């Protein structure tokens, strides 16, 4: 279990690094930095889950474990941690569902307003796009590989992924990406640049992905650099 592993790792390294929590911490060795980094990350994970824990009892639990004087049996500890993990998962699922419900309404409103803007076209699937530069080369089919430069943002302008910022284009099979890309790039020609407005159903849906929340509209500026037909 993820949280159990985090707690175990955190307890071990926390005890090794902080036998005296009132002392000034000095990171003199690689092991010191490792212990501190793991303890710090552990704390961030607990903070993320809004676990308002008594740090004195955390330290007491560490000390007792090294003295083999635990106030709880191993079975009781496992039960407590399993219950905690279940509660965290339920909380996260509820938050995900609430965000998905809120975001789908925002997505629908955004797409409805966006399709009326000058130069924006809408396909039968609901994908919207605006040609920024006409290409003159060949168009890919779904089984081709393509080389592109792209810049991806959410509707609030925040960047979630960008080959432009990394300074390196990317090559991938067109049938191995989100449906909005698979459909959209087939509308392009080599040398062209298009801005895509991809609704949740053609992106990552209610699950989201990484920095992309549930039911988010994705906006991509895509330069189609090269089409590599499948032989």
> Which one of 129, 150, 196, 197 is the catalytic residue?
150
156 in catalytic set:
no
Among candidate residues 13, 110, 197, 204, the one labeled active-site is 204
Is 14 a catalytic site residue? no
Question: Distance between CA atoms of 216 and 222, rounded to whole angstroms?
Answer: 18
Catalytic residue among 4, 9, 77, 178: 178
Active-site residue, 204 included: yes
110 catalytic per annotation: no
User: Can you list the pairs that 174-178 forms with residues at least 24 positions away whose Cβ atoms lie under 8 Å?
Assistant: 174/140, 174/141, 174/142, 174/143, 174/144, 174/145, 174/146, 175/142, 175/143, 178/202, 178/203, 178/204, 178/218
Catalytic residue among 3, 38, 104, 161: 161
Active site residue 150: yes
Question: Closest Cα to residue 188, out of 145, 143, 129, 229?
Answer: 129
36 tagged catalytic: no
The residue annotated as part of the active site, out of 4, 36, 88, 160, is 160
Report the catalytic residues. 150, 160-161, 178, 204, 220
């Amino acid at each position: 279990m993820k949280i159990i592993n985090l707690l175990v790792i955190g307890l071990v390294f926390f005890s090794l690094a902080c036998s005296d929590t009132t002392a000034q911490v000095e990171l003199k060795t690689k092991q010191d930095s490792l212990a501190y980094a793991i303890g710090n990350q552990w704390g961030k994970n607990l903070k993320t889950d809004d676990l308002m824990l008594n740090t004195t009892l955390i330290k007491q639990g560490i000390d007792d474990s090294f003295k083999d004087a635990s106030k709880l049996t191993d079975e009781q500890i496992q039960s407590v941690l399993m219950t905690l993990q279940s509660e965290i998962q339920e909380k996260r699922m509820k938050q995900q569902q609430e965000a998905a419900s809120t975001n789908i309404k925002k997505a629908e409103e955004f797409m409805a307003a966006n399709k009326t803007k000058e130069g924006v076209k809408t396909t039968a699937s609901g994908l919207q796009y605006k040609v920024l530069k006409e290409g003159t080369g060949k168009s890919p089919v779904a089984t081709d590989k393509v080389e592109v430069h792209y810049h991806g943002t959410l509707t609030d302008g925040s960047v979630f992924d960008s080959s432009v910022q990394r300074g390196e284009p990317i090559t991938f099979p067109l049938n191995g990406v989100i449906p909005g890309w698979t459909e959209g790039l087939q509308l392009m020609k080599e040398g062209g640049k298009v801005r895509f407005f991809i609704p949740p159903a053609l992106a990552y849906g209610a699950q989201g992905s990484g920095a992309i929340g549930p039911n988010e509209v994705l906006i991509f500026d895509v330069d189609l650099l090269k089409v590599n037909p499948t032989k």
